[in-house]
Structure 1
Amino acid sequence: MSIGSSAFVMLAASIAIGTTGCGTSSSPTVATATSVPSASSPSTVQAGASTDRSQPAADPKPAATPAASAPEPAVSPNPAATQETSAAPEPATSPQTETTSAPAESGPHGSGHGLCFDVNSALAASAVAQLAPPPAGNGWVVQGGSGDPIQAGCSGVLSWMRVEWQGIHPGTHILFFTNGTYLGTATSKPYGYTEILGKTKDTVSVQYRWAKPEDALCCPQGGPSVVTFSSNGTSVQAKGQFPPDN
């Protein structure tokens, strides 16, 4: 038999068998895929597997879920460190040079109230006590004195004090001082109509007037004459005209 005849015979036989099966009992069982619910996640049953429902399907072990790591708490900066960092840097300071102020000059003996010579001092009182008593009145009365300040320096300063007696015709003495020492009076005896015109550090200018024999006591016509007294530190020299010694 040829290959072609054999093929034809086999085809015919297959047709005959298929026709015969149509009248028999049930159709062949076809396996289907059945979905079984799971408590965790669905799982698929492969085709051809047993579908017996009398035994409950075991819950598949859920896949282990990695525990979520807790977020690390934010670390707050050290307050002290923050304060130290945020604080403005202190400016550099240059080393201070210690300065010593010169002490204020203290006045000489007889000074006081900020003056090189104080008319209220013991030196002034001692000088007045050395004067001869006045011819009239109740003693010598201080009328004023120089005002040289201690802060300007007292060395070599010629100071003066004016005293007079009280009466109808008062007489005046001018006393001199320097460096805490009493030097004496401008004249050996007191004169009336005597005034201080001015002074420098070491000189004093004194004006004198005097009455002539025919003058009334109120109106002297002698003078005026200005005598300048200067100090060399230990004594006083005078330059000018004094009243006539009557």
Structure 2
Amino acid sequence: MRSIGYSSAIVLLSASALLTAGCGWSPKGPDPEPQADKCTPADGPAQNVVTASVYALPAPPSGKWTQMGSGHTANCALYWVQVGQNNSTPDSLQQVVFFNKNTMIGTPTPNARPYITVTASAPDSVTVQYQWQQPKDQPGMPTGIGSVRFTVDGGALKALDPIPGP
């Protein structure tokens, strides 16, 4: 009797081990290789065009605009430059300026807003995340949030989603 009990226990343990091995954790594979940037300086705006475009924006209430970040889509058609105030605070105004080739094609909103982040670039679009203060939010801690994808259409800036916020 005892040998049947031990045999059953061994079979159960072996089956459990096999099931666990089939459903278990395995280490993550290597990260994908980053794609080489195929865009050349000639695909984007010249620095003097970027500078002139930033200076053409309505001035912030205090300080001056300074470049915070920049990038482009993988197809090299849409370039962006994010600007903010040089004496910024968490709720300082910001703006994103878009370019197609060596031409400024606009800003997503007519007026600068706080809490803007360029979050991603797809092959032919750029995603901008907007945040805004809700009535009961603490200063500098907005809970309103939404994202908009932008692309170039016929040489013009096109929003693929509605621009969120108040």
Same structural fold, with TM-score higher than 0.5 when normalized by the shorter chain: yes
Q: TM-score if structure 2 supplies the norm length?
A: 0.67
CA drift at 1:213: 2.1
1:211 equivalent to 2:165? Answer no
CA contact (8 A) 2:117 2:130 kept: yes
Higher strand share: 2
**Bigger relative contact order (CA 8 A; separation at least 6):** 2
**What corresponds to 2:122 in structure 1?**
200
Is the radius of gyration larger for structure 1 or structure 2? 1
1:145 to 37, 45, 70: 70
- The counterpart of 1:229, out of the listed 138, 150, 165, is 150
Q: Secondary structure at the match of 2:49?
A: helix
Report how far residue 236 of structure 1 moved: 1.1
Match of 1:162 among 82, 98, 107: 82
Residues 133 and 143 in structure 2, CA contact (< 8 A), matched pair in contact too: yes
Of 122, 133, 148, the residue aligned with 2:48 is: 122
Give the direction of change, closer, same or farther, for the CA distance of 1:212–1:182 in structure 2 (3 Å limit): same
Task: Name the residue aligned to 1:240.
Answer: 161
Distance 1:170 1:226, change over 3 A: same
SS in 2 for 1:187: coil
TM-superposed deviation, 1:106: 6.5
Partner of 2:13: none
Deviation of the 1:217 alpha carbon: 1.9
Superposition map of 1:5-154 within 5 A: 107-108=41-42, 116-117=44-45, 121-136=47-62, 138-146=63-71, 154=76
Cα shift at 1:214: 2.1
Displacement over 2 Å in runs of 4+: 105-108, 166-169, 239-245
Q: Please give the alpha-carbon distance, in whole angstroms, between the structure 2 residues aligned to 1:106 and 1:212.
A: 42
Closer, same or farther: CA 226–106 of 1 in aligned 2, 3 Å = closer
Instruction: Return 5+ residue gaps in structure 1 as ranges.
Output: 1-104
Q: 1:106 to 1:194 in 2, by over 3 A?
A: closer
In the superposition, relative to structure 1, how do residues 234 and 171 fare at CA in structure 2: closer, same or farther (>3 Å)? same
Distance verdict in 2 for CA 1:159–1:219, change over 3 Å: same
Q: Secondary structure at the match of 1:176?
A: strand
- Counterpart CA distance in 2 for 1:233 and 1:129 is 25
The one-letter amino acid paired with 2:157 is V
Structure with bigger helix share is 2
**Alignment of 1:186 onto 2:108:** yes
Letter in 2 for 1:227: V
- Equivalent pairs: percent with the same residue? 26
- 8 Å CA contact retained: 2:72, 2:126: no
Quick check: 1:163–1:173 contact (8 Å CA) kept in 2? yes
d(CA) in 2 for partners of 1:237, 1:221: 26
Contact 1:208 1:243 in 2 (8 A): yes
| Aligned residue in 1 for 2:22 | none
Could you say what secondary structure the match of 2:140 adopts? coil
- Give ranges in structure 2 of 5+ residues lacking alignment: 1-38
